[in-house]
A and B are shown apart, each in its own frame.
Chain A
Amino acid sequence: AQKITQTQPGMFVQEKEAVTLDCTYDTSDQSYGLFWYKQPSSGEMIFLIYQGSYDEQNATEGRYSLNFQKARKSANLVISASQLGDSAMYFCAMRLITGNQFYFGTGTSLTVIP
């Protein structure tokens, strides 16, 4: 069975500092994709970044980067230069290339302090 674990229910970061949100996953498949989504207090789900299991380089999208360590089965999200607007819930998710389901973690609530 597939599983996503986010062990940090809540995190605080000072504005302009970098923060790492942890995500570990469990699968015996070799081909999969990993995703991070942001959910602000308004409730919508916003796609942030994607990493394929065969991608050799860590994904980056602006201030977001994904620290992918395949052997450790971790896919941590790094947000650089935090902004007040980064305060939100963040979800890690996985999809197998051969499967049809998405698996989500329980989320991490990030608060950026001015």
Chain B
Amino acid sequence: EAQVTQNPRYLITVTGKKLTVTCSQNMNHEYMSWYRQDPGLGLRQIYYSMNVEVTDKGDVPEGYKVSRKEKRNFPLILESPSPNQTSLYFCASSRQGWGTDTQYFGPGTRLTVL
């Protein structure tokens, strides 16, 4: 089954404790992206990747890191999480790194930083 998977689905952590949210897709998609969703703000793009070893900042990259060492994986790293990073996070992928392909979303990761 074609899908985007994220782990963990739920995470409660404390300020300053490094964490990684994994994202994997099995569709051989070139483009992958991370979003955060906050009430009243919609989805905001954190980072995206056009292909392996190619990443770029979205609208809200501060406090986040990403890497794209393999085509299928695009982990999101919070080196020192803070309470304002409490949010619902989505990973998404699309077939090409350009053009107007739609994105396919993972199930979301609900992160709480105490």
Task: Give the bracket for the number of chain A residues in contact with chain B.
Answer: 20 to 34
A98 near B98 with CB under 8 A, answer yes
Q: B45 contacts the other chain (Cβ, under 8 Å)?
A: yes
Given the contacts A43-B107, A44-B105, A44-B108, A100 and B44 also touching, CB distance less than 8 Å: no
Instruction: Mark interface residues in A75-98 (1 if CB within 8 Å of B CB, else 0).
Output: 000000000000000010101011
Task: Give the bracket for the number of chain B residues in contact with chain A.
Answer: 20 to 34
Closest residue to B104 on the A side, CB-wise? A47
A43 near B100 with CB under 8 A, answer no
B102 near A107 with CB under 8 A, answer no
Whole-angstrom distance from the CB of A34 to the nearest CB of chain B? Answer: 9
Footprint of A on B, CB under 8 Å? 31, 33, 35, 40-45, 48, 50, 56, 58-59, 88, 90, 92, 97-105, 107-108, 110
